[in-house]
């Protein structure tokens, strides 16, 4: 069996972008390790949600470990950076923010984990961070370099299938779950995901969709019961999020997608 290390910016990212793939890997007997750059300290949280004296970072770390249990990831590590907030916000430039961290230093920390695990596969995000978030972009930069340092042979960039995303948005709008003024720009020049033509791997996780959804629900500070993700009817959720999309780093698309990150791995 192989080892997959999945690198993310904040707790809950692992659920949304790769939850089904990680659960599938674990169910197939592979070792799954989660690494987070930050604890998501600058996320939004409803007033009164946290316990007295509890910080958002502390709550999100707890949620992260619960999600890891659901997905079957026995090891969870944090690189210790601070959440950089959304692009263009003051948090981008704070001391300790992941966005301002030297790539080489962060990559060295991640590479140490990759070596410890003798990792066969590393998942990161595409070069736009799937949707332009600064910490997600930094995950790409740090992850690519860490794989080089550690000699990790397979790197997969989690992304969104832009063509499929348009269909998801339409489903959400028709169901009244996505207000018209909250629809993201997914045009050809958008930073949201990648066109289907450049995607190399599509993992069908519909048989694990309840596990993916449970992993999302574990992040209650960020994904509430009234969120778009959790309000969708089961069938609509499966049709929207029942596939996870990756670009294998350094590999040209052939027009035919693999259906497993482990395909061809001896």
What is the pLDDT, as a whole number, of residue 112? 98
Mean pLDDT (whole number) for 103-125: 98
| pLDDT tens figures, 30-85 | 999 999 999 999 999 999 999 999 999 999 999 999 999 999 999 999 999 999 87
> For 95-111, what is each residue's pLDDT tens digit?
889 999 999 999 999 99
Which burial class, exposed, middle or buried, applies to 93 when counting CB atoms under 10 A from its CB (0-12, 13-18, 19+)?
A: exposed
Per-residue pLDDT, 265: 86
Residue 18 contacts residue 36 (beta carbons within 8 Å): no
Whether the CB-CB separation of 123 and 144 falls below 8 Å is answered with no
Using CB atoms within 10 Å of the CB of residue 231, give its burial: 0 to 12 exposed, 13 to 18 middle, 19+ buried: middle
Q: Average pLDDT in the 113-142 region?
A: 95
**DSSP helix/strand/coil, 173:** helix
Strands 243-248 and 154-159: antiparallel
Q: pLDDT tens digits for 164-208?
A: 877 776 666 666 655 555 555 555 556 677 888 999 999 999 999
The model carries a pTM of: 0.91
Better pLDDT: 6 or 92: 6
pLDDT number for residue 3: 98
CA atoms of 120 and 8, how far apart (whole Å): 17
Q: Please state the CATH superfamily assignment of the domain spanning residues 3-247 in this structure.
A: LmbE-like (3.40.50.10320)
Spatial CA neighbour of 19 closest among 66, 59, 62, 83: 66
Indicate the domain borders of the chain.
3-247
pLDDT in tens, 131-168: 889 999 999 999 999 999 999 999 999 998 988 877 77
pLDDT of residue 179: 58
């Amino acid at each position: 069996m192989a080892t997959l290390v999945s690198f993310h910016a904040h707790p809950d990212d692992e659920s949304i972008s790769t939850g089904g793939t990680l659960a599938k890997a674990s169910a197939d007997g592979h070792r799954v390790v989660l690494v987070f750059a930050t604890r998501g300290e600058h996320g939004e949280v409803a007033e009164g949600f946290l316990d007295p004296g509890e910080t958002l970072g502390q709550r999100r770390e707890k949620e992260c470990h619960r999600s890891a249990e659901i997905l079957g990831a026995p090891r969870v590590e944090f690189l210790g950076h601070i959440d950089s907030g959304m692009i263009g916000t003051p948090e981008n430039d704070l001391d300790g923010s992941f966005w301002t961290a030297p790539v080489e230093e962060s990559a060295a920390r991640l590479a140490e984990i990759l070596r410890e695990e003798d990792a066969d596969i590393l998942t990161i995000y595409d070069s736009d961070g799937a949707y332009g978030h600064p910490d997600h972009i930094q995950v790409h930069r740090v992850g690519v370099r860490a794989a080089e340092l550690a000699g990790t042979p397979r790197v997969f960039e989690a992304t969104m299938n832009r063509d499929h995303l348009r269909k998801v948005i339409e489903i959400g709008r028709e169901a009244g779950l996505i207000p018209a003024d909250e629809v993201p720009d997914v045009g050809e020049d958008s930073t949201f995901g990648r066109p289907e033509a450049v995607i190399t791997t599509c993992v069908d996780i519909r048989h694990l969709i309840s596990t993916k959804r449970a992993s999302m629900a574990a992040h209650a500070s960020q994904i509430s019961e009234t969120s778009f993700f959790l309000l969708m009817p089961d069938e609509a959720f499966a049709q929207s999020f029942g596939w996870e999309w990756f670009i294998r780093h350094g590999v040209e698309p052939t027009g035919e997608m693999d259906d497993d990150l482990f395909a061809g791995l001896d």
